[in-house]
Chain A
Amino acid sequence: MELRINKNKAFDELTNWVFKLSSSISILVVVGIFIFLFKESLPFFKEMRPADLFLSAKWNPEGWSGEYYGILALVWGSLLVTVITLVISIPLGLMVAVFIAEIAPRNLKIFIKPVIELLAGIPSVVIGFFGLVFVGPLIAGIFHLANGLNALNGGLLLSIMVLPTIITLSEDAINGVPKDYREASFALGATKLETIFKVTLPAASSGILAAIMLGMGRAIGETMAVLMACGNAPALAKSIFDPVRTLTSTIAIEMGEVAYDTNHYYALFNLGLYLFLISFFINNIAEYFLKKGRRNA
């Protein structure tokens, strides 16, 4: 009996360590990603000046007249597509979240969650394909363009992809607002509409901001949809109808054909490093807002 208890204890101790070791994988991976991106992007600056990367809009790594690694046009491309995405998905996502949380009838509610989840589950390459064969021709037709592969197309597709994030998290934030707030508002004679816009939404604003930040992070980091729908011209776009090339799609297009450990290879890892840092930054701002929201509730 004594022996058995000891054996059990030893086994307990063992599992404890296995679990603890496993849990350290996440930290290892985050640190690993940072170190490897850094390691693979740093050699770029041995032969090239930082200005070659940061102060030019000309991206043409394997051109006739030399290598050009200016990332400004790519950053601008990512930014433009993200702004279009947010302009569409913030109002639409918020409206849907309010609809679900505040006014949807019960029998419709059961039906909504699977719809949003399924939308989130459609692979980005399928969304990109949809942009290529459907949204593109539609944009070209409406605005009389030669083709519809441009920033607007990417923004529309990304809106579809970002909506589930914004809707779900905003709905959580709205549901997190204590009932007393609404009841107090009604007691003061406010209508439902006034309560939603003047009481509930402001009270949920931290959580909503977090939702928007996380949606924005997804938009900047998304690859396949923008790769297939944006036209991929690495030049400064002047309007939403111009083709754009984003940071993500540049890596996707070029990394497959590049020779390892060349300037071009290092430059692409540089882009990856900045994407990682951006996502890290945005994600932690979102977390700050989430925590603030929880404290207030």
Chain B
Amino acid sequence: MHSIKPANIKENIVFALLYFSFFLVLVFLILIIGLTFYHSLGTLSWNFIFEPPLNGMKEGGIFPMIIGTLLVTFISAIFAIPLGIFSAIYLVEYAKDTYYTRLTRMAIRNLSAVPSIVYGLFGLAIFVKTMQFGTSMLSAGLTLGLLTLPTIISTSEEALKIVPKTYKEGAYALGATRWQALYKIILPVAFPGIMTGIILGLSRAIGETAPILFTGVAFYLPHLSLDIFQQFMALPYHLYIMSTQHHDIEGVRGIAYSTAAVLILIALMLNIIASVIRHRFRER
């Protein structure tokens, strides 16, 4: 019985440390979010969201940046979502374990590890220069689309794998073709999981800065640009220049904090939507 007590003390200390480690991570998160919102208090308002930047970007808001970010994300979505879902469908429902599918999976895995700045270089080389889209919303959107692709493929794959095999077999037994079984039975069941993946993938695209740096984002444009062959302004890049490149950095701190707050809000919102969908999915 002697030996139990010292062991217990040691155990308690270690367990306390483990608890502490988690709360440390929690503190990081709370600090980042809390400080950002606290310092954005004077600046963040509806006007800030719906006004263009004014007076050499020293006043005003971020409306054109929000529109730019939405549009560029939309371009990457229409590019990456169908390709991503189709890839996943092929890998899960159609392909056998061949050399080709193993190669494809290896490619997807490696794509998800490629640094975002390297995507930027690739976008510059292929979309801006080779395809001659120039530095534009289109080039940036396609670059972000490539970056989102591996996330959408792997999460869609997971969602499709969860669908019970009996569903598919049932459909076949009733005389459905492969496509009918897929379209009427498998996809509806996998839909929430696929949606979650899409939201998380696009959420990442919204916050990315490095891939758009030299594929289309602009420091400042006097007019709101909706043309996909023109440059655009974007939220994450705006935060970067407002905190490091503006000629009056101390003077525009409030704007920088508020831009950061908006970026966090978007990430927060999309994360909540994704987990609500996932939660509903699990209940079924």
Which B residues lie within 8 Å of A129 (CB)? Answer: 36, 239, 243, 256, 260
Interface size bracket, A side:
35 or more
Which A residues lie within 8 Å of B86 (CB)? Answer: 18-19, 22-23
Could you say which of A11, A269, A279 contacts B115, with CB atoms under 8 Å apart? Answer: A279
Are A121 and B271 CB-contacts (below 8 A) given A36-B122, A126-B263, A129-B239?
Answer: yes
Q: A134–B87 contact, CB under 8 A?
A: no
Bitwise, B235-278 to A at CB < 8 A (1) or not (0) is 01101100110000000010011001001100110110001000
Q: B126–A126 contact, CB under 8 A?
A: no
* Secondary structure dominating the interface of B: helix
Are A8 and B115 CB-contacts (below 8 A) given A96-B21, A123-B208?
Answer: no
Which A residues lie within 8 Å of B207 (CB)? Answer: 121-126
Q: A29–B149 contact, CB under 8 A?
A: yes
Judge whether B82 is part of the interface by a CB distance below 8 angstroms: yes
Judge whether A212 is part of the interface by a CB distance below 8 angstroms: no
Which residue on chain A has the smallest CB distance to residue B88? A23
Are A132 and B243 CB-contacts (below 8 A) given A12-B177, A224-B209, A283-B110?
Answer: yes
Judge whether A173 is part of the interface by a CB distance below 8 angstroms: no
Q: B124–A191 contact, CB under 8 A?
A: no
Which B residues lie within 8 Å of A282 (CB)? Answer: 113
Q: B150–A103 contact, CB under 8 A?
A: no
The count of residues in chain B whose C-beta lies closer than 8 Å to any C-beta of chain A is 90
Are A228 and B240 CB-contacts (below 8 A) given A122-B32, A134-B35, A248-B115?
Answer: yes
Which A residues lie within 8 Å of B256 (CB)? Answer: 129, 133
A242 to chain B, nearest CB (A): 19
Judge whether B174 is part of the interface by a CB distance below 8 angstroms: no
Judge whether B138 is part of the interface by a CB distance below 8 angstroms: no
Which A residues lie within 8 Å of B89 (CB)? Answer: 19
Segment among A42-50, A60-68, A252-260 that sits at the interface with chain B? A252-260
- The count of A-to-B residue pairs whose CB atoms sit within 8 angstroms is 259
Judge whether A294 is part of the interface by a CB distance below 8 angstroms: no
Bitwise, B198-239 to A at CB < 8 A (1) or not (0) is 001001101111100110000000000000000000001101
Which A residues lie within 8 Å of B121 (CB)? Answer: 36-37, 40, 251, 255, 268-269, 272
Q: A96–B104 contact, CB under 8 A?
A: no
Segment among A139-147, A174-182, A199-207, A213-221 that sits at the interface with chain B? A213-221
Bitwise, B1-39 to A at CB < 8 A (1) or not (0) is 000000100110011011101101110110110011001
B52 to chain A, nearest CB (A): 21
Q: A115–B29 contact, CB under 8 A?
A: yes
A159 to chain B, nearest CB (A): 9
Judge whether B190 is part of the interface by a CB distance below 8 angstroms: no
In chain B, positions 133-179 with a C-beta closer than 8 Å to chain A are: 146, 149-150, 153, 177-179
Q: A126–B260 contact, CB under 8 A?
A: yes
In whole angstroms, how far apart are the Cα atoms of A103 and B243 in the complex? 41
Which A residues lie within 8 Å of B41 (CB)? Answer: none
Judge whether A9 is part of the interface by a CB distance below 8 angstroms: yes
Which B residues lie within 8 Å of A276 (CB)? Answer: 114-115, 118
Which B residues lie within 8 Å of A268 (CB)? Answer: 121
Which A residues lie within 8 Å of B49 (CB)? Answer: none
Interface residues of A, Cβ cutoff 8 Å to B: 8-9, 11-12, 15-16, 18-20, 22-27, 29-30, 32-33, 36-37, 39-40, 92, 95-96, 98-100, 103-104, 112, 114-119, 121-130, 132-134, 160, 163, 167, 191-193, 214, 217-218, 220-224, 227-228, 248, 251-252, 255-256, 260, 268-269, 272, 275-276, 279-280, 282-284, 287
What 9 A-B pairs come out closest when comparing CB atoms? Answer: A123-B207, A221-B115, A22-B86, A95-B21, A19-B90, A283-B113, A23-B90, A26-B107, A223-B210
- 5 A-B residue pairs with Cβ-Cβ distance under 8 Å, sorted by A, are A8-B179, A15-B182, A96-B18, A118-B29, A256-B214
